[in-house]
Structure 1
Amino acid sequence: MEPVTSRGLNPSWIIVAAGVSASLHVGKLPPAVPLLQQQLGMSLVQAGFLLSTVQVAGMVLGLVVGLGADKWGLRRSLLTGLMMMALSSMVGAAATDFTWLLALRALEGLGFLLVAMPAPGLIRRSVKPSELGARMGWWGSYMPIGSAMGLLLGPWVLQATSWQTWWLALGCTSALAAYAVWRMVPADAAATAAVAATADEGWRPRLALTLRSPGPWLVSLGFMVYSGQWMGIVGFLPTLYSEAGLSAKLAGLLTAVVAASNMLGNVAAGRLLHRGWSPARCLQTGYVLMGLTALLAYVQIGGEPLAPLWLRFVAVALFSATGGLIPATLFTTAMHLAPSQATVSTTVGFMQQWSCVGQFAGPPLVAAVAMQMGGWQFTWLVTGSMCVLGWLLALGVGRCWSRLRA
C-alpha cells in the first residue's frame, strides 16, 4: 500500500515533527540518570557513557550514514531510523543492566542519524524554493525543542511512574511518527530517480566529491564551533545553578528554558534568509552575539560576577537564542553548497559528524578551563575563541555563496 500525501498539511511539517520525536530520545536520559544509578547500580562514569553514546555514533558514522541515505532513499532512511529508535526504546524498558542499556542506546544513536541525515533533503523536495529558508529554520529547532521537552516532561513522568514507562512512552512516540511519515510523506521512487541513478555510480566518487569541495568543510566546521560552545554552556547550567544555591527542579526548569530559547533564533534565521539576508550575515551575527552574551554571563571583575544571577540567566538565554541563527542557516546553506544533488545527505552527514565532535569535545574543554582556573569565570574565553573561528569560517561560506550565485 502506497502512502497517502496530505492535501492540507505540508509533508515538511511531518518531517520536522519526526525530528523532534527523535531528539526526545537524546533528551530523555538526563532526568533519568539518578533512577538508573539507583535501580541498575550504574556508576557516574557509566551514566556518562550513556549520555555520550549518540554523539559517539555521530562522530563515527555520520558521513557513512549520509552516504547510505543518498543511495537507499531519503524517506526509507527516515522510516528505518524512527522504527529503530522506537524498538530500541521499547526493548530498553526491559533492560536489567548497564551493558544491555548501552547496546540499545547505541542502536538509538544509529536510528537518530538515520532520521537526521535525510530530513533536510526531504524538506527541500517538499517545499517551494522560496519557502526553503523558513522551513529549514523550523528544522534547525528540532533538537532544542526535543531536548527542552525531555527536560520538562521527564521529571514529571519519572516521579509519577518509572523510567521504564518513560522509555515505553517515547518508543510509542517514535512509532507514531514513523506511521505519520509513511502515510503523509511521498515515496522516494518518483521523487529521487535522478539522484538514485547518480548514487548508483558508487559511494567512492560521492565521498571524494564531498571531501574535495570547500562548501561541506566550511559548514561542517562552522557547526562544530557552534555546537561545542552551546553544549559546553548549556550542559553545565544545572551544575552552575546548583552551586548558586538553586533547587534541582528550578535549575532544570531554567536549563530547559535556555535550551528552548534556541528555537527562536532558528525560526528567526529562516525569516531573515527569506527576506534577503545572506548566510554569511546570519552566521556572523550569531557568532558575534553568542560571544558578547557569554561574556556578560561569565566575566568577573575583582572576583565578583559582572551581573547579578537573574541578568546572567537572561544573558545565557540570549546566548542560546541568538546562537539559533547558526544551525538553521547552516542547514539551509548545506543544501546549496553540497557539490551535487546526489551528495546532499552526504554533506549533511559530514556536517552532523563535525557537530557531534563539537558536542563531544565542548563540555570537557569548558570543564577543563573551569578546573584549571578554579571557577567558571573564564568560560567566555572558550566561547569567544570558538566565535572568532566561526566568524572567519562564515567569511568562507560567504565567498562560496557568492560564487554559487554568480
Structure 2
Amino acid sequence: MPARRSRRLPPLSGVLVLVMASTGLVVVDLTIVAIGLPLISTELADGASAESVVVTYMVAMGALTQVVGSLSDRWGRRPLFLAGIAVFTAASLAATVAPDLLWLDVARVVQGAGAAAIMVNGIPLLSDRYEGEERDLAIGAWGSFATAAGLLAPTLGGVLADTFGWRAVFAVNLPLGAAAWVLAARVLPSAPPAPSAPDAARPDWTGSLLLMLGLGTATLLMLRDGDASWSGQDTAVLLTACLALAAFAVVQLRVPAPTLDLRMFGRPAFSGAMLAILLSRVLTIGGSVYLVLYFSDGLNLSPTAAGLLMTPIFLAQIAMGMVGSKLLSHWAPGLVIGSGYLLKGVGLAALALLINPGTPWWALLLPLLAWGAGGGIAGAPVMAVAVRVTAPERVGMVAGTVSTLASLGAGIGTAALGVVFTLHGGDGSRAVTGGARAVMGTSAALAAVAVLSTITLIHPRRVPRPDRGGVPVS
C-alpha cells in the first residue's frame, strides 16, 4: 500500500469552514466595536465614556469559556455551538436597536456568553472531525484565519461606522450569524461526538459558579483604568476574585466530574502548553499596546501609520502559522514551539536595542517580522500539543482552559508590562521611548523563559505522535 503523501493544507470540510467563519465572527467583534465607541459615546452616553460596551463583553466571555467548554464535553458540541450562534446573533440584534447605554451593555453581556460557546467549541469540533497530521493542520488553519480576522476588524469597523453609523458594527453580525447557524445545522453531526466517560455525571454547578465569579471579577480588575489610583473597591474586587478561585480549586479536587480537572496539569506537556499560551498573550497583546504608544508618541506617527507599522507582526504570524503546524510532522513539538519563541525573542530583543526617538520606522520592520513569524510558528503547535495529550472526552475542557488563559494573559500582560512602562517611561518622546524599550526587553526575557520551559516540559516522550492514539502517562 503506497505511503500517504504529507499534506500542506487540511482537507476542506463543512466543519472547518464553519469553525473558521464563526470564530472569525467572534474575533472581529472583539475589536470592531471599539472603533464605534466615539459615536456610541456621543449618541447614547451624552459624551461620557462608553468603554463599558467593550468591558462587559470581555468579562462575560472570559468568565464563561471554561464552563461552556466543560459542558460541551458532557452535552455534545452541536447543541452548545448552535445555541452559541443563536444567542450571539440575537444579542447582536438587541445591540443594533439599543435605545440607551444600559440596554447595550446588557446585550453585550449576552453576546459575550454566545461568543464563549462559539469560540470554545472550535478546537473540539476540529478534533472530532480530523485526526493525526490533518488535525494539526486544521488547527493551524483555524488559528491563522482567526489572526487574519483580527487584522481586518479595525479597517472593517472604520468603514462601517463612518458609512452607516455605529449600529452597523452590530448589524453586520445578523446575516453572518444566520448563515453560520444554517451551516452548523447542516454539517454538525446530530449525535454528541464527545465520549460519555467520567463527564456524563451531573455538571459541577457549584464549581462553575465559583469560576465565573472568580474569572469575572479578575477580568474586571485587569480592565480597570491603569491611571486611576488603587481604591477600596479595587481591593474588594481582588479579594473576591482570590477567594472565589481558591474555593473553586478546593471544589474541583472533591467533585467526581469537575469543571476543570486540575490533574491535567500534572502532565508536564500539558502544563508546558498552557504556560506557552499564557506567555504568548502576555507578549503579543501586552507588548503591542506599548509599542503602539512608541510609534505614536516616540516616532510621531499618525494613528493610521502606527497601525500600518504593526501589520508586519500579524502578516508574518498568519503566513507562518501553517508552517508551524507542518513542522510538527518532522520535529518534536517542544522543539517547534521553542524555536518559535526563540525567533520571537530575537525580534523583541532587537526592538529593545533599536527603539530610540530618532530611529527610522523602516529599521523596525525586520524585528517586527521576526516577532510575528515566531508567534506563528509557535502558536498552532501549542494548541495541537494540548489536544494530543488530553483524552478525547476532555477536549472541550481543554479548549476552555486555552481560551481562559489567553484572556488572562492579555490582561496580565497589559497590566504587568504597563508597570514596567511606567517605571521606565512617562510623558514626552524620550520617556515613552525608555518605557517602550524596557517593555521590549522584559518581553524578550519572558520569551526566553518560554523557550526553556517549552523544551523542558514538552518532551517528545510526553507527547504522542499525530498518527498514534493514547494519552501519555507522564
Q: TM-score, normalised by structure 2?
A: 0.75
Q: Which of 60, 73, 77 is the matching residue for 2:76? A: 73
Give distance in 2, aligned partners of 1:43 and 1:59: 28
Give distance in 2, aligned partners of 1:45 and 1:314: 38
Give distance in 1, aligned partners of 2:291 and 2:47: 22
Output one character per residue of 1:32-65: Cα deviation in whole Å (capped at 9) or x when no partner: 2222233233778641x44344443354333212
Give distance in 2, aligned partners of 1:404 and 1:287: 25
Contact 2:352 2:440 in 1 (8 A): yes
Q: Which of 410, 421, 441 is the matching residue for 1:359? A: 410
Q: Which amino acid aligns with 1:371?
A: T
2:376 corresponds to 1:324:
yes
* Alpha-carbon shift at residue 359 of structure 1 (Å): 0.9
Partner of 1:315: 367
2:152 corresponds to 1:98:
no
Q: Which of 141, 149, 154 is the matching residue for 2:144? A: 141
Give distance in 2, aligned partners of 1:143 and 1:312: 25
Mean Cα displacement is larger for which, 128-137 or 211-220? 211-220
Give distance in 1, aligned partners of 2:277 and 2:48: 29
Contact 1:95 1:101 in 2 (8 A): yes
Partner of 2:26: 22
**Larger Cα Rg: Structure 1 or Structure 2?**
2
Give distance in 1, aligned partners of 2:33 and 2:310: 15
Alignment of 1:257-296 (within 5 A): 258-273=313-328, 275-296=329-350
Contact 2:312 2:369 in 1 (8 A): yes
Q: Which of 166, 170, 173 is the matching residue for 1:170? A: 173
Partner of 2:386: 334
Give distance in 1, aligned partners of 2:290 and 2:97: 30
Task: Sort the Cα spacing of 1:356 and 1:13 in 2 relative to 1 into closer, same or farther, 3 A.
Answer: same
2:283 corresponds to 1:229:
yes
**Structure 2: gaps of 5 or more residues:** 1-10, 204-254, 426-431, 465-470
Give the SS at the match of 2:256: helix
Alignment of 1:97-136 (within 5 A): 97-136=100-139
Contact 2:93 2:174 in 1 (8 A): yes
Contact 2:82 2:185 in 1 (8 A): yes
* Alpha-carbon shift at residue 256 of structure 1 (Å): 4.8
Partner of 1:379: 439
More contact order relative to length (CA 8 Å, sep ≥ 6): 1
Output one character per residue of 1:173-205: Cα deviation in whole Å (capped at 9) or x when no partner: 22222221222232234x44xx13542134443
Alignment of 1:36-55 (within 5 A): 36-41=40-45, 46-47=50-51, 49-55=52-58
Q: Which amino acid aligns with 2:403?
A: Q
Mean Cα displacement is larger for which, 108-117 or 98-107? 98-107
Alignment of 1:182-221 (within 5 A): 182-189=185-192, 191-192=193-194, 195-203=195-203, 204-207=255-258, 210-213=261-264, 214-215=266-267, 216-221=270-275
Contact 1:28 1:154 in 2 (8 A): yes
Contact 1:224 1:354 in 2 (8 A): yes
Partner of 1:404: 472
More helix by share: 1
RMSD: 2.7
Partner of 1:3: none
Give distance in 1, aligned partners of 2:384 and 2:48: 38
Task: Sort the Cα spacing of 1:151 and 1:259 in 2 relative to 1 into closer, same or farther, 3 A.
Answer: farther
Q: Which amino acid aligns with 2:42?
A: Q
Contact 2:352 2:441 in 1 (8 A): no
Contact 1:284 1:390 in 2 (8 A): yes
Mean Cα displacement is larger for which, 34-43 or 132-141? 34-43
Q: Which amino acid aligns with 1:181?
A: A
Give distance in 2, aligned partners of 1:59 and 1:287: 25
Give distance in 1, aligned partners of 2:370 and 2:452: 22
Partner of 2:307: 252
Mean Cα displacement is larger for which, 73-82 or 56-65? 56-65
Give the SS at the match of 1:140: helix
Q: Which amino acid aligns with 1:323?
A: G
* Alpha-carbon shift at residue 170 of structure 1 (Å): 2.3
Give the SS at the match of 1:245: coil
Mean Cα displacement is larger for which, 130-139 or 8-17? 8-17
Q: Which amino acid aligns with 1:351?
A: V
Contact 2:342 2:447 in 1 (8 A): yes
**Structure 1: gaps of 5 or more residues:** 1-6
Contact 1:234 1:259 in 2 (8 A): no
Task: Sort the Cα spacing of 1:88 and 1:208 in 2 relative to 1 into closer, same or farther, 3 A.
Answer: closer
Output one character per residue of 1:257-306: Cα deviation in whole Å (capped at 9) or x when no partner: 53343222322111111x322210121011111111112223358x656x
Give distance in 1, aligned partners of 2:187 and 2:409: 34
* Alpha-carbon shift at residue 103 of structure 1 (Å): 2.2
Q: Which amino acid aligns with 1:201?
A: A
Task: Sort the Cα spacing of 1:209 and 1:19 in 2 relative to 1 into closer, same or farther, 3 A.
Answer: closer
Task: Sort the Cα spacing of 1:133 and 1:313 in 2 relative to 1 into closer, same or farther, 3 A.
Answer: same
Give distance in 1, aligned partners of 2:322 and 2:172: 28
Q: Which amino acid aligns with 1:81?
A: G
Task: Sort the Cα spacing of 1:292 and 1:277 in 2 relative to 1 into closer, same or farther, 3 A.
Answer: same
Give distance in 2, aligned partners of 1:344 and 1:297: 37
